[in-house]
Amino acid sequence: MGIFEEHWQSLQARGYAHYTLRQRKMLGSWLSAYEQDQGELLNPCTYDLATHDRVLNYLRLQRNLAQNTVASFVRGLKVFLRWCREERGLVVPVELRKLQGRHADVLKMWLTANNLTALAAAELPEYLTRVRDVLLFCCYTGLRYSDVFALQRGNLHQWDGGLILRLVQTKTRTGVSIYLTEAARAILDKYADPGRVRLLPVLANQVMNRYLKRVGKAAGLLDEVVVTTVVGGEVLKKSVPRYELLTSHTARHTFATQSLLRGMPVEVLQKVMGHAKIQTALVYAKVVEELQHQTMRRIWEGQGAATVNVGARASQICAAEPMAA
């Protein structure tokens, strides 16, 4: 679609975030790949449900894209076609409401308190120690990779005798303020270097994710996790060691779930993580089985929700300072 480049340039001109631009660029890549591989030029003015089915068939069966990747494609395609219709006056025959892409529930892998303890205690070579420390720092703060990578001394501020981070998130451009607990401050102190621009020695994301598998294996994260995927309409399940699922984004899931387990109100978690909608933060509450078990035990058996095991390292992980009004 030649007009797609114009669409992308209009988003760029309007100052859309890099993350959104990257997603749209990927959408254009898949459309171009379809045209090249199938020998069919796509045109918004002739794009109908039959064309849409051919495109989805190509993405699912020939390119083996996962369910959620296809769902993201459909969502972006609808934005593009709506732009063609409403902003460029093109006649788009397909009814956008009929272009449906359902996201499948995926496992949000997170680390337990015992996992965090094992990671912190693992004896590692220096290059893996740096990777481990960055992961733990993100577990203690909830930062995304893009934000921890860009941290500088100017993001540090004094607050009530302690330190906080103030930053604008790279992905959402949302301002957040995060209290640095003792464990988080210790990691910063470990790598304090006036000559370094960034606060932490963060590697490229792909390299870090590759090394994190080695870190997790060395730390003994060997328990198996069942992973479910949908490929070509078929539900596939397989068990893999926990360390194989370890990525930089695991830290963000860990911060959210551990914060909820330790009693952080969802409204506070929403602010700390920079979610625009509280429903996004509530997703973590749904996947924390331990939180469900605690609540049921408290209601039916009269036992307290906070236990020694669950509360371990609580003071080191999830304290937060709300954003100023």
Q: 21-37: per-residue pLDDT in tens?
A: 888 899 999 999 999 99
**Residues 254, 255, 258, 261: what is their CA dihedral angle, to the nearest 10 degrees?**
-130
Asked if 263 and 306 touch (Cβ cutoff 8 Å), the reply is yes
DSSP of 40-62: ----TTT--HHHHHHHHHIIIII
d(CA 6, CA 10): 6
Copy the structure tokens of residue 172.
Answer: 């959402």
Asked if 164 and 221 touch (Cβ cutoff 8 Å), the reply is no
Q: What is the pLDDT of residues 205-224, one digit of tens each?
A: 999 999 999 999 999 999 99
Q: Of the segments 104-118, 138-152, 230-244, which one has the largest average pLDDT value?
A: 138-152
Q: Is 220 helix (H, G, I), strand (E, B) or coil?
A: coil
What is the pairing mode between strands 175-179 and 234-241?
unpaired
- What's the pLDDT band for 18 if we cut at 50, 70, 90? confident
Ranges of CATH 1.10.443.10 domains, the chain: 113-317
d(CA 86, CA 92): 10
Ranges of CATH 1.10.150.130 domains, the chain: 2-98
- Residue 20 pLDDT: 84
- What's the pLDDT band for 315 if we cut at 50, 70, 90? very low
Q: Who's near 37: CB < 8 A, 6+ residues apart?
A: 58, 62
The topology under which CATH files domain 2-98 is DNA polymerase; domain 1 (1.10.150)
- Residue 317 pLDDT: 42
In CATH, which superfamily holds the domain spanning 113-317? Intergrase catalytic core (1.10.443.10)
- What's the pLDDT band for 320 if we cut at 50, 70, 90? very low
Higher pLDDT, 286 or 129: 129
Copy the structure tokens of residue 227.
Answer: 């992973």
Model confidence at 305: pLDDT above 60: no
Bridge partners (DSSP) of residue 162 are 159
- What's the pLDDT band for 296 if we cut at 50, 70, 90? confident
Mean pLDDT of all residues belonging to the chain? 84
Neighbours of 247 (CB within 10 A): 19
Model pTM above 0.85: no
CA 212 to chain centre: 16
- Residue 107 pLDDT: 62
d(CA 57, CA 218): 41
